[in-house]
Amino acid sequence: MIFEDVTLNDGYKMPAIAYGTGSKWKGKSVVEYVQTAIDVGFSHLDTAQFYQTEEDVGQAIRESGLARDEFFVTTKYSGGVPVQVAFKNSLQKLGLKHVDLYLIHNPRIIGDKLLPAVWQQLEKFRWDGTARSIGVSNFEVEHFKTIFSVARIIPAVNQIHLHPYNYAESKPVLDFCAQHKIVVEAYSSLDPITKYPGGPVDAPLAAAAAKRNATPVQALFLWVRAKGVVIVTTSSTRSHMEEYLAISELEPLTAEEVAAIDEAGAKGPPAPTLTARARALFTTHNAIAAVVLVLMLLQLFFRMPFLRVL
């Protein structure tokens, strides 16, 4: 199963699907999961200072026995300490002399005042070769304009949250990135299935999947690919990892199928429903409130003295 590379605006190539070790895994060991991802064919590994998974990614790379140039490694600056310190720590934890892509993780954490200076420091990493490509994450158009005031290098990548339900609101930044040849990466693209099941996009995804003898998950990733966007995904299960990579063998979505998913996504996700725990909590609170109300009524109407101590 071979996923094609995409060419960045700096000339380097990046695999079009990445195995992410994001917030879901923060504080947990992901060595085994990353090893499995490498074994099934992932070569693009995504981590970040914030995730606290850089050491695990580095360990999995070393224990794979594969050469460094077999991997494309992304990590991110998440703030809290000067970027020079964070980057040095990231390289040490990964056990690498360079990363393939270094991103500003979130402009809202860094702040508009510091963004230009942070970007200038990323440019220095780019020039000295410790970060072959540099980019951003979670950037809107206004954040690009902030760093463009000082930038000598255009970001190569913008990694964003993208799925059919937020596609319309993401269009301005997608169009801006296309204009400047900035490759977009998408994380949490499976939200319509994992977080918002039963919504309008279920039907067009199911139809596209049935046509290809595929799964709705694969159809959703085909939608991401149809938008020219790189996939960042994760799983702890080997079969799911294989399912993700297998989309490289599937027929791309037609323009009509993409349009149907877009149209359904524009209707928005289904109304949130209470989880089982929330329902139980809600029921418990109602029961307590009912008991308190009964006691108050008893005290009011029957003036039962022993209830006054409650």
Supply the residues annotated as catalytic: 51, 105
Rounded CA separation 41/26 (Å): 23
250's CB contacts (< 8 A; 6+ apart) are: 212, 214, 218, 222
Quick count: other Cβ atoms within 10 Å of Cβ 42? 23
Tokens of 300: 């009011």
Rounded CA separation 227/95 (Å): 34
DSSP 8-state secondary structure symbol assigned to residue 70 = G
252-276 exposure pattern, b = at least 16 Cβ within 10 A, e = fewer? ebeeebbebbbebbeeebeeeeeee
Cβ(164)–Cβ(261) below 8 Å = yes
Q: Which residues pair with 13 in a beta bridge?
A: 7
CB hemisphere CA count around 287 (13 angstroms):
6
How many angstroms from the chain centroid is the CA of residue 162?
8
Rounded CA separation 145/137 (Å): 14
What type of residue is 190? Answer: L
